[in-house]
Structure formats: C-alpha cells, structure tokens
Structure 1
C-alpha cells in the first residue's frame, strides 16, 4: 500500500471511494456498450435538461398566466368601479335637476342652462331631456356630436319602442332606470339612457332623460393605465361590442392553446347585465420557443449564475440607494405638504411645472389644472393682468426683490386675497438654471390687522388731538416726553416742564420725582407692571396756573408704556368757568340764605314785637310799682332788691331776644363746629314759639337724652328747624283745625342710615298735608303753594342739610285714607362721621388730591 494513501484523511478517502467504483464499473463494460453509453449519456443529459427546461417554462408560464389573470381581474374591477362612480356622479347630478324640477325651482330656461353646463363639462353626457307625464318633450339639450336622427325636439312625444318602455318602467318603479336602446343607424353612436322620475307633491310628473355616449364613457371613465395594458371594450348582454376595439384571434402553431387572448368580463353597475366591461390582455404567451433558446439557456446558465451573483450584489447596493431615495422623497413630500407656504415652479418660458398642496389650497385649483398653464394664469385677477405681467417679466429676467413683492390672487371661487411672493432661481443637479421657484404666503389677515391698527391709531390720534383737555405722557424719573396732544403743546410747548410742574403742584409724585432741576431721578426706574404703583387708580387734583391764568383739574394715572417702562399720564382740563360758576353760586346761596332769614324775621316781626312787649311792660310795671311804694315809704330794702333783680332779668331777656334775632339775621359765612343738639334745638324752639303762639298752635318737642355732638353750623340748622315749624303752623292755620288738633311736634332721635349713625330731626304737623303734584316739586327753587311765597325756603333748607352731608324728606300722615298731617324730616351725621366726610371733601382744595 502506498504510504500516501494511508496518510490521507478520512474525508478524502470517502470522496475517492465513489470515483474508484465508477472507474471500475466503466472498465468492466465492453467497448460497444461504452460507445452507446458515451453517446446516450450526453443525449440523456440534454433531454433531461431540455425536459427540465420545458417543465420549468411550463410551470413558470402557468404561474405567469395565473398572475396575469389576477392582475387583469383587479384592473378590470378597478376600471368597473371608476365607470360606476362616474355613472353615479352623473346620476346624482341628474337627480338634483329632477329634484329641482319637482320642487318647481327650475324653469325651462334654467333647465336648459343646467343641462348645457353639465354636457359641456362632462363629455360622456350627450343629451338631457325633460319629459312630462304625457311623454311629451318639454325641453332638451344635446351635445354637438349627437346625430340629427338622435336629437329630441321640444313638443314631440316619445315614440313607442325607444325610450317609451323605459318611461313606463321608471313611472312604475319611481326609481332611476338605465337602458341601452338599439342604435337607429350604423353611423349613430350607441347611447346609454338614464330616466329619473319626477315626483311633484308625491305624484308622477314625468322624467329627466339623460343619454350617455358609451364610447366617451369608456374613454374618460376608464383609467389610462388600464387602457394602456389591455384592450378594453364595452359590450351589451348579447356580446355585441358597443365601444372599444377587441383583439383579433392569434394563431400559434407551437402553442395552439394560447390562441385565445387572456380576458375578463364584469357587468357595470348600476346598469346591470345590459352593459359589460371586458378587457383583453395584449400578450398572453412567451411566443415561439425554439431549440436555440434552450441551448442558449444551457450555454448561458454558467454565465447567468456568475452574472446573477454580481448582479445581486449590484442590485443590493442599488436597492439600498433606492430605499434611501424613497425615504428622502417621502420625507421631503411630507414636509412639503405640511407647510402652509405655497410653492410654484416655473420654467424659463413662464410655464408652471410644479405646485404643492398648500398652493392648491390657497388658490382653489387642483394640481392638474395648474400644471402646464402659461400667462395669464387662472389665479390672476383680470383687473391686474398688466401689473402681474410686468412682475412676471421682472421675475423671469432675474430682477428678484429680496423682501418679495405683494400681489392680489384670485381663488377659484372668485374671491381675492393678498399674497407675498418670494422668487429664487431653480438649479438642477448639473448646476444649470431650469426655471424659477416661487413661494407664496397669504398675508390677507396681517394686512387686515395692519390696516385696523393704522385706522385705530389714526382715530386715537384724532380723538386726542381734538380733546378740550391737555394730555401728556412721560416716563417716571426722566424728562422725556412720550406723548403730548395739541392743547398741551399750545399751553406748554413740546417740553416736559409743563407735565412735571403740574405733577409736582398737584402732589401726585414725591418732591424729588421728575428731575425738575435737570437731573434725572432713577429711584422709580425699572418698576415692573406688577408693582402696586403701576396698578394705582387715577388721582385728581385742582390747581391754579398763574402763567395761564386758568384753574386746571389734573387727573393722573400710571401705565405701562409700550417699551415696558412705567409712565405717568396726566390729563389737565380747564375748569376756570366751572370754578367761577361755583363761586358765584356760593355767593348767591349766601345771599339767598340771608334773604330767607330776613323774610322769616319780617313775617315774625309782629310776634317779635309782642314778645319784646312783655319784658318791656314788666320792666315798666316794676319801675312804676317801685316809684309808688318808695313815695309811700312802703318799700323795704329786700323788696327793692327783689324788684330790681326782676327788672334786670326782664331787661336781660329782652336783650337776649334782640341779640338772638340779630345773630340770626346777620349770619353770613358758614361756620361748622361741634354743636350740642339740645342747645341748638332750644334756641330754635324759643324763636319759633313766637310764630306758633301767633297762630294759636301748640308746640311739643322730644329730644332723646345723651345725644352725641354733630359737626354743624348752629344758625343754619336753627334756620331749617324754624322754617319747618313755621310752615307747619301756617299749614294748620290754613286747614282751620280745631284747637284740640292744632299742634306741631318736634322729635330729635338717633338713627342708623346705610350703616352710619345719624341724628334725625322730624317736624310733624296736623295740617291738611301735601298733594302728590306738590310732593314731586316740593324742594324745587321758586316753587311755592302760598300766594305770597317766594319758593326759596324749602329749597334753601334742603341745600343747607345736604351741605352738612345729610338728607331731607317729606311725607303725608294718614289715618286710613284720610290725611291727618305732614312730616318733614332730615338727618345729620355724627361728629366723627362728619369730620371724615369734611376732610375727604377738603382734599379738593387747590394743591391737594381730590
């Protein structure tokens, strides 16, 4: 044994064993059998290879035919759905016309207009006819391609045998009905008829007959990709071709079973079996298969295997690049469709080559309608053709504006909107310019807001300039004047000095604020809007400007300026006429009060004289008695002293009466002090009792004990009480009450009004009361129920009470339905409440905040 064979590995030995067996078997054959085997073995190999090739081709062909049939079935069903949707859309439009005719919303001219619009828009529609319930044609409109023998004339009646049978079927079913009538002549194109019944008020009122061109329906409703792959035809129920060209039979001697073309048929809904869509594949076999193909396959098998490996590796790299390209394309398309900016691409001649979804949404036109358009474009407004043509010429010439330019764009609906266009050159992969890319942004809303802001600013400026008040705004801690209207400029010029002087004089800011001396104060700089000072309420003050000779009412408010700084707005109004009127009114009121008191004392003159006559008579009597008794020597020293005391008392009483009357009459300036209610009432009672006794009226009074003091002018309040009690006595005298009912009652009690403690004064009489029309005008000036009255007494009384921050009220007293008298009441606040109110009012004096 060879040492090399003994050292061979077991695997190599296993491979060599069959080879040794094959050589031993071959050597054992005879030479003839070896020749036969040598000739048959390649033949058998070739036959086996050819058989394998044939079986492989047959199997692959069978699989391919099945796939073609599946693809054909899917494509035909898709085409059938497109045709069905086309028919349903036209049916819906015809049904709308029928519904409007049933409702009486369409006239004959309107019907012809609607029919003409539909026929011109949809080429498959050939004619639309309105037929009444007696089968008489009311109106009809047909396309120019309809032959003369297919036209329907208004006023004619449907002939029996054509649309009449379909008419009866539509009338019986009350549903849209399709039919495919027989062609009248060889040159007439087959038509598809649709009759939609009319139902005015639930009754049959005729039909709307729509006729379709089956050839146009096939041409425009079938997808172009289906027409490119198959021979598509429309046939009727008997197999006759209505539209399209079928394939001619093919002859194949080697594959006779492939003479019939691969085809598929499906009825077109909603027409039914009367209209069938058929598609035939253009190629259903591999063609002639010769022996050269088999040998070619055998020869190229090795090369194919080698090339397949190389191609697989190359294809793998291409697929990776293609997937990356698809992902990038999808990403860019998604990003492009999500942006709100419209994109439009133009070639160098101005033809639109691309628009994105946003551009279509802005204009209302679809991508198919826009691509390929040349100027003027459909979204250009007709009134601006020249301007837009000029812009386009500048755009194509390369004169682009960096900030873009604004144009008006017309939507498909006819509305206009403002847009801003930005243009940039479109460069291809080789660096050459192929056109221009334009981005369009809708700026209608920004323009509207800008116009509104401009108009608002103009209105604001006009109003402020026309104000009769001076308005100025200045930042805190600075001498810059942010705003000043016309009146401010007339008074103070364009400087901040007037603003700062008014602020300082009114006391709105601290003395150091405003930098009047020329140096800015930074103590208030940097205040935020949340600071309490920024939210302070407006403050008022009345100041006098000697340089203007005017009284000004200054109102101040802090605000946050547009740049974030805290500023102060000052509004100064000229109130000089008002102050002069107030001073004049005050002087007139004082004169009226004095006149009223004089009138009162004049009316009480006789009573006062009678009142003074008593102490003077007593003095005279005392003096006469003392003289007679002294002459008779009958007067002792003690009796003389007592008589002299009584005489002095009566003289003092007369002097007090005269002094009180003089003080009452000569009162001029108001003098509010802390007043005791009891003393004030006592003084008024003593003066009023004189008048009441003259009228034979009984006076009673009740004053609550321990009443707090009030802040009042005692003489003025006494005047009010005397007037009220005197009026009550006069009312009783006019009513001629009996002596038992002739009384006036004065009550002074504490009360609470709106949560505040007050002192209420009420004067109640037993007169005949006040009429309703008198109550309505009781406190008006120069209104009086007395023939000799001036009508200022009660008006002055109310003015005096209100000047003391009180209120006066009058009401009738009733016993059932009978008026038993009248009550006048008024109240005054207590001293602490009155001081608070007076101090608040005192702030309105010049130089203080009101």
Structure 2
C-alpha cells in the first residue's frame, strides 16, 4: 500500500525538508547548521542598519524642506526690497524726464533714498552721451564709483548695461561686478540702470549701485542668517557676499543621499540667474555614523558572528583532520601507483615485502607473484645471476652508492632492458631500520639517446677539425679556451692569446680581458655579465672584420658572435678565415683599375687631340700676329711706348691661355693615386666643362649648365669625377654629331642638383643630349666591359665611369627621352652621396 503525503501544505513542506536534510552528507549538514545562525545575525544587523538609515533619511528630508522654505522666504524678502527700491528710482527717473527734478533737487532726493536704503552705495544721473549729470554717493558704504573716469563712463559692464537699458527702455540689472583692492577684501556690487525717457526720447539713465554685503545684511532676516551660512553667488558659484559653511561633509559615492549637504540655492528674480541666494545649514547632528546605539548593535552583532565562526572553525578543523588523514592515505597510494619509477621494498634478509604498480609494469610480474619472493628473483637474467647476487649481498651489508648502479632486467615476456637501481635504508617511525628501499628506472631510451649524442658529437668534431677556418670559443672574463679546432691549434697553439688577439684587432671588446684575470682562479672566474639578460647578445648577427696578422703573414676575415655555452656562461665564438689570396687579387684588381683609369684619360685626350690642337692654335696664332705687328711697327719707328705695353699684355694673356690649356690637360691625364677629399662641386664641374668645351666647340654643340645654389661638398677624388663628366659630355656631343642635328637642335644640358635618394642626401649629375638615343639591345649591355657602339671604341669608357661612381658609393643609369613615340635624346645621370 503506497504511502500518502500529508494534505496540509505546511506539513508537506516539513516532510520535504526532512527528506532533503537526510540526503545531505554530514559535512554539508554541519555547514548548513553554521550558516543558519550566522544568516540570522546578518539579517538582524541588516534590519537595524536599514532602520537607522531610514530614520536618517527622513531627518534629512525634513531638514531640506525647512532649508528650502527659509531660503525662499529670504529670497522673497530680498526680491520685494529690490522691487521697492526699483520703484522709487523709476519715480525719480520719471520726475527727471518730466523736468520736475533738476541737479540740486536730485542730490536731495538721492541723499534721502540712500539714507533709507543702506544697501545702496551711490546714485548717478547719466545723460544720453554717458556723461555724469549729477551723482551722490553714500559715505557709510564707501563707494568707489570705479565705473567713472572723471565725468565719463568707462567700465565695460556699465557700458553694456547702459546700451541694453537704452535699447529696451526698461530697468536693467548688470552682472555682479568684483573689484579687487590692494590690502583689502574685494568690493562686490550690482548696478540697476533705469532709463530716462521723455516723449519716447532716450535722455539718459539713473545708475543705482547696490553693495552685495548691504543687500545680504539688510534684506535677509536675522533669524535665517543665524541658522544658515547665507551667501550671494554668481553663475560660477563664486561667493560675492556672505559666507559658506566650511564644515560641509564630503559627498561620497556610496548612498550620496545619506551624506549630501543640507543646502539650497534660489535665483534672485529681479536680477535674474546672474545672482542667486545660497544657504547652507550648520551641521548639528552626528548622523548615522556618530550614533552610539548603531555602533553598539553593530559590535554585538559582530561579536555574535565571530563566536559562531569560531565554533564552526573548531568543528571544521576536527572534521578536516579526519578527512586529511583519509586523503593523505589515498594520495600516497595514488602517487605510488602513478609514478613511473619502480619501487621495491625488502626486509633485512632480502625478501620482497612491497612493490608498486610501476615496478610490476616494468618487469611484467604481478604484485602477488613478487611479494614474498627471495633471491634469485624471477626478473634476473640467467647470464647475470651471479653478478646480481653479489650486488644484492653488498646492498644487504649496507655497501651502497648514492649514484646507484646499472643492471639488466628481464621482463616476464623474456625481453631484457637496462635499468638503474638506487638503494637506501628503510626506516620506520621509531627510527629503526626495517629493510631496504630500492627505486628502479628504465634507462634504455636515455642510453640510446646518449649513444646518438656521442656519435653526433664525433661527427661535429670531425667537421670542425676539417674546416679551412680557425674556430675558437672562450668565455668572457676567463683565460680558459673552451674549444679550438685543428687550424686554430696550428696557428696559435692551445692558448687564448690568438683568440684575444683576433677579438682585439677586430674591434670586438670583451667584458674582462684575459690579462686582467689571475692565473690562480682562471678556471673558476665568473662571467662578467652573469645575472644579466644575454638574449640581446646571443640573438645579434655575427660581425665581420678583416685584419692582418704579421706573425702569420696572412689576411684573415674574422667573424665573432656571442653564445650561451653548455654550462650557462656567456662565451664568444671567433671564426677566422684566410683571405690572403682574395686580398692579393683585390689589390691587383685595384691596380689594374687605376691603370685603366689612366689609360682611359689618355685615350680620351688622344681622341681630343685634333680639338686640343685647334684650341691651342688660336692663342699661338694670336701671339705670332702680335709679335709680327710689333716688329713691323718698331722697324717703321711707328710704335709708342703705351701701344707697345698694350700689345705685350695681349701677347702675355694669349701665352697664359695656352699654358692653362696645356696644364689642365696635363693634370687630367697624369697618373695619380686616388685621393678622396671634401671637394667643391662647382669647381669640379668648371674643370670638366673647360676640358669638354674644346670638343663641344669643334662639333658646334651648345652646352647649357644648370647648377643649384649652395651645393654641399662631397668626399670624392675630383680627377675621377671630372673624368666621368668629360666622358659623358663627349659622348653626348658625338651622339648629336652622328644624328646630324641642325644647329638649332645641337644642345647638351648639364644639371647638378641636390636630391634625396634611398633615404640619404646626394648630389645628382645629369647630362642630356638631343641625339638619336640608344636601342633596347644596346641599353641592356651599355655598361658591359669591352662593349662599344663605336667602330674604333674599346668599350671601357662607360664601364669605367660606372666603376668610378660605384666606388664612391653612388649609382649611375641611362634612359631615353621620348616625345610621343619618337626618341628625342638620351639622359645619363649619376649621384654621389653627401658625407
């Protein structure tokens, strides 16, 4: 018969609660039993705190309502007083407009008004031209009337209010005016300007000056001023008169309504929002935080909660101790079963008392088959039994080593593997030895890896020994040589002197040179950079240097880099290769290049021989003519001394011109060593133009020069750069001559301009002609050696020019110029970097 649940909802809830409670574990029941009283204490504390907060909130709301009502009452009093004074001033303005009041009567009425109104500091009558017609100031308020300069209005705010009153023809209040005084508090006041209008004609204004202190003192009731910190403030919340409560509490981000300042602010209606009345209540109550009953309830609740927590923690520690004991046992058993090292325990007679899962897995025998066995054990190979019995005897006698020993172990399947055994005494809780504990590790794979590493090391050493370069490694801060191959030992023996010499001459500084390390502790000297991050050293690229060792008579290319040695020290590896044959070949190639440059200049001058002869013929012919003419006139006795001097000067000038031509040609063709110096570009271009101008004039070609102003100096050999320019200009003239261009199209343009190429400042030289250009097949082979388009050319001119430019770290190129599909000329250009 099925069991029915109670019909009452309350009884059903109780039954379900009991059913749920019985399903919980004892640990969870203890936790819930602790949470229930703690939750009750927390709820009690929350209820008390909420009640206090609510009462405080009601109090704040009431206080704010009182402040608002009092401030509005004070504002109404101030408003009515301002309106009353405004009416009186408007009546005076009407009397002035109706001509019922003159200057004398104005002073009397102003005096009466200011005596009745202590907040008024002065009353001024301004005409339409902003001049003072009459004015009266109260002596008690000490008005400065700073808005006047003489009898003229100059203050900006007064002028703005004056214009506004004139335009609106209504009373206008100015913005609050603050005047700073030396060694005194600032003087703040407010102006009311009432227009004087007669028959719709503006005739001026009455300016009433209110002092802020007077308005606050005589318009605000005393009972309000005594209860609050009352002040007049502008739109920027600056205090113009009165005071602000300095003890106002700080507004917090948590429940700001609870800690907000009890204050209220309302604008003064006649003036507008430019002036407001602000009142802040003086703090009289301690609030929620200072309430003693609140803190008493809080302390009692905290003590109750602390005692509940202490009781629960004590109970929990007892339960946890029991659970820790069970967990520790389970953990140790799980750890023994999960480790990969085989564990075996024996008693003092050599009988197996315990093996873990790893030991059984290694040997293939189960725990039941091994526990209780005595030697010989089933996992001993037959051929090693005698040796293993001797080892076991030594173990039982206590003759063991900390490093262990290696044996062979046979699995149940018959497979044999290498293992290392470590034996230690097994001591119980009372400190007595009850047997021996042996750990076994399978080292078959490590042995295989070790053999492979040994073979790889042998191969690596063989390769390094057979290199045709010297390889050495030395740590920083030590005289120890970590590695040196065969060639290094042949050159420098087995010391670090050769390594240090290579590093020093290659310009690679070491942290501590070997000469500063002592001989006694050179092997134990610490790395000078130990403890610092070395990734920046070891990840940098190797740096190269070429040095000459006189003791070996060889040129060596030295490459060095930092690396982390196997023991963790920072070391430096140096590789030195013999480049003596290459350097000798480079020197020979350089000498041949110099000869080629000299030969090219001689060839150039040989090709220009006829032009040079024609150029020299002119001054020589002129000299001959001057000399013949002087001889004839001397014989005829028809030559004065003055005419003779003029003829001799012209003869000398022509001789000097011929000598300059010969000297320039001689300087150009003579053989000299390359001499790079900071050279003036304009001077180089001038020399080249003088030499190439001879060929230009012979071929009737015009040369146009475009040189930029203030060109920077370049570090070049000027003779070589002049040779390049002369060759390019001669080729341009020959191209125009071969194209048979008419005289109007026989132009060569030389441009020298500064530029920015590949991120560096350069000077670009370009020579542009109006010839037929270069075919595509010629353009591809233009700079090849011994390639020429001239039947009598040797093919070394342009190749040599490009070599000269590239030796100065420059670049050279050629391109055709097009007008549509037609070639209109060719442009050769090269640039030299500015250094």
What interval of TM-score do these two structures reach, taking the shorter chain for normalisation? 0.5 to 0.7
Does residue 1:658 correspond to 2:658, yes or no? Answer: no
Q: Which runs of structure 2 are paired with 1:269-668 in the superposition (5 Å)?
A: 333-343=333-343, 355-359=355-359, 387=383, 402=401, 403-407=404-408, 419-422=419-422, 439-444=439-444, 446-447=446-447, 449-451=449-451, 453-506=453-506, 508-509=508-509, 513-515=513-515, 527-529=528-530, 540-559=544-563, 561-563=565-567, 567-668=571-672
Q: Are the counterparts in 1 of residues 478 and 517 from structure 2 also a CA contact under 8 Å?
A: no
Report the Cα distance in structure 2 between the residues aligned to 1:415 and 1:681, rounded to whole angstroms: 92
User: Structure 1 346/829 Cα, relative in aligned 2: closer, same or farther at 3 Å?
Assistant: same
Q: Which residue number corresponds to residue 727 of structure 2?
A: 723
Q: Are the counterparts in 1 of residues 423 and 438 from structure 2 also a CA contact under 8 Å?
A: yes
Report the Cα distance in structure 2 between the residues aligned to 1:519 and 1:646, rounded to whole angstroms: 85
**CA-to-partner distance for each residue in 1:405-458, whole Å, 9 max, x for gaps?**
24477798x9997543457899999xxx99997643233554455345434433
What is the alpha-carbon root mean square deviation over aligned residues? 4.6
**CA-to-partner distance for each residue in 1:363-397, whole Å, 9 max, x for gaps?**
788768999999999999xxxx6656666666677
User: Structure 1 637/733 Cα, relative in aligned 2: closer, same or farther at 3 Å?
Assistant: same
Report the Cα distance in structure 2 between the residues aligned to 1:497 and 1:786, rounded to whole angstroms: 60
SS at match of 1:515: helix
690, 696, 700: which one aligns with 2:700: 696
669, 672, 675: which one aligns with 2:673: 669
User: Structure 1 436/680 Cα, relative in aligned 2: closer, same or farther at 3 Å?
Assistant: closer
My pick for the range that moved more, 502-511 or 565-574, is: 502-511
Q: Are the counterparts in 2 of residues 525 and 566 from structure 1 also a CA contact under 8 Å?
A: no
Report the Cα distance in structure 1 between the residues aligned to 2:509 and 2:710, rounded to whole angstroms: 46
Does residue 1:747 correspond to 2:748, yes or no? Answer: no
SS at match of 1:613: helix
Report the Cα distance in structure 2 between the residues aligned to 1:420 and 1:511, rounded to whole angstroms: 44
Q: Are the counterparts in 2 of residues 808 and 826 from structure 1 also a CA contact under 8 Å?
A: yes
1:595 Cα deviation from its structure 2 partner: 0.6
Does residue 1:737 correspond to 2:741, yes or no? Answer: yes
1:588 Cα deviation from its structure 2 partner: 0.7
My pick for the range that moved more, 334-343 or 503-512, is: 503-512
Report the Cα distance in structure 1 between the residues aligned to 2:501 and 2:325, rounded to whole angstroms: 75
Report the Cα distance in structure 1 between the residues aligned to 2:815 and 2:520, rounded to whole angstroms: 64
1:620 Cα deviation from its structure 2 partner: 1.4
**CA-to-partner distance for each residue in 1:67-110, whole Å, 9 max, x for gaps?**
xxxxxxxxxxxxxxxxxxxxxxxxxxxxxxxxxxxxxxxxxxxx
Q: Are the counterparts in 2 of residues 528 and 534 from structure 1 also a CA contact under 8 Å?
A: no
Q: Are the counterparts in 1 of residues 511 and 528 from structure 2 also a CA contact under 8 Å?
A: no
Q: Which residue number corresponds to residue 828 of structure 1?
A: 832
My pick for the range that moved more, 547-556 or 532-541, is: 532-541
774, 790, 796: which one aligns with 2:794: 790
Report the Cα distance in structure 2 between the residues aligned to 1:519 and 1:353, rounded to whole angstroms: 57
Report the Cα distance in structure 1 between the residues aligned to 2:519 and 2:427, rounded to whole angstroms: 62
User: Structure 1 328/640 Cα, relative in aligned 2: closer, same or farther at 3 Å?
Assistant: closer
**CA-to-partner distance for each residue in 1:629-660, whole Å, 9 max, x for gaps?**
33334333333222222211111111111111
Report the Cα distance in structure 1 between the residues aligned to 2:412 and 2:640, rounded to whole angstroms: 130
SS at match of 2:558: strand
Q: Are the counterparts in 1 of residues 701 and 733 from structure 2 also a CA contact under 8 Å?
A: yes
**CA-to-partner distance for each residue in 1:702-740, whole Å, 9 max, x for gaps?**
111221222221111110001111122222333333433
SS at match of 2:480: coil
Q: Are the counterparts in 1 of residues 534 and 570 from structure 2 also a CA contact under 8 Å?
A: no
Q: Are the counterparts in 1 of residues 472 and 573 from structure 2 also a CA contact under 8 Å?
A: yes
Report the Cα distance in structure 2 between the residues aligned to 1:704 and 1:567, rounded to whole angstroms: 54
Report the Cα distance in structure 2 between the residues aligned to 1:709 and 1:379, rounded to whole angstroms: 90
Q: Which residue number corresponds to residue 781 of structure 1?
A: 785
**CA-to-partner distance for each residue in 1:178-214, whole Å, 9 max, x for gaps?**
xxxxxxxxxxxxxxxxxxxxxxxxxxxxxxxxxxxxx
| Structure possessing the higher radius of gyration over alpha carbons | 1
Report the Cα distance in structure 2 between the residues aligned to 1:604 and 1:436, rounded to whole angstroms: 107
Report the Cα distance in structure 1 between the residues aligned to 2:409 and 2:828, rounded to whole angstroms: 78
Q: Which residue number corresponds to residue 760 of structure 1?
A: 764
User: Structure 1 760/377 Cα, relative in aligned 2: closer, same or farther at 3 Å?
Assistant: farther
My pick for the range that moved more, 645-654 or 628-637, is: 628-637
Q: Are the counterparts in 2 of residues 514 and 520 from structure 1 also a CA contact under 8 Å?
A: no
1:544 Cα deviation from its structure 2 partner: 2.8
Report the Cα distance in structure 1 between the residues aligned to 2:766 and 2:571, rounded to whole angstroms: 54
Q: Are the counterparts in 2 of residues 472 and 570 from structure 1 also a CA contact under 8 Å?
A: yes
User: Structure 1 762/426 Cα, relative in aligned 2: closer, same or farther at 3 Å?
Assistant: closer
**CA-to-partner distance for each residue in 1:490-517, whole Å, 9 max, x for gaps?**
1121233333444455554589943289
User: Structure 1 398/473 Cα, relative in aligned 2: closer, same or farther at 3 Å?
Assistant: closer
User: Structure 1 618/362 Cα, relative in aligned 2: closer, same or farther at 3 Å?
Assistant: farther
User: Structure 1 497/395 Cα, relative in aligned 2: closer, same or farther at 3 Å?
Assistant: closer
User: Structure 1 521/771 Cα, relative in aligned 2: closer, same or farther at 3 Å?
Assistant: farther
**CA-to-partner distance for each residue in 1:333-391, whole Å, 9 max, x for gaps?**
334213321246799999999753224555788768999999999999xxxx6656666
Report the Cα distance in structure 1 between the residues aligned to 2:781 and 2:373, rounded to whole angstroms: 85
Q: Are the counterparts in 2 of residues 744 and 766 from structure 1 also a CA contact under 8 Å?
A: yes
Q: Which runs of structure 2 are paired with 1:204-215 in the superposition (5 Å)?
A: none
Q: Which residue number corresponds to residue 276 of structure 1?
A: none
Q: Are the counterparts in 2 of residues 676 and 708 from structure 1 also a CA contact under 8 Å?
A: yes
Where do 5+ consecutive residues of structure 1 fail to align?
1-322, 834-850
Where do 5+ consecutive residues of structure 2 fail to align?
1-322
Report the Cα distance in structure 1 between the residues aligned to 2:653 and 2:719, rounded to whole angstroms: 25
Aligned residues between the structures: 502
